Amino acid sequence: MKMNNNNSRNFIFMFIALALFMAMVPMTSAATWDNVKHYDKDTETITIKNTLGLGKTLATHTLTDNTYQCLTDCYAEGTTELMEDADLTMGLERVYG
């Protein structure tokens, strides 16, 4: 079967696109888009789980003090427990840098 010039270009384009996709898969394995946040109103605790909520717990944050209604001097305090060593400032250089 002989390929004409247009089919040959399409085949090469598809091959390159597939190769690039396969090369990028390991870089996206640590994605954060699949993390799920759950808020327990009774304990005022946020739990962040990996893999659409089916994976391990990444972090919990419990609210210890909060000004629920205020006009000035509003604040919230809490404690955070990270289940793994992580850099809390990761990504802030893009926002504030």
- Is the torsion defined by CA of 9, 14, 16, 17 positive or negative? positive
Predicted pLDDT of residue 62: 92
Domain extent listing, the chain: 5-85
Predicted pLDDT of residue 42: 92
Predicted pLDDT of residue 97: 46
- In the chain (97 residues long), the average pLDDT of successive 10-residue segments reads 70 88 62 79 89 80 88 88 72 53
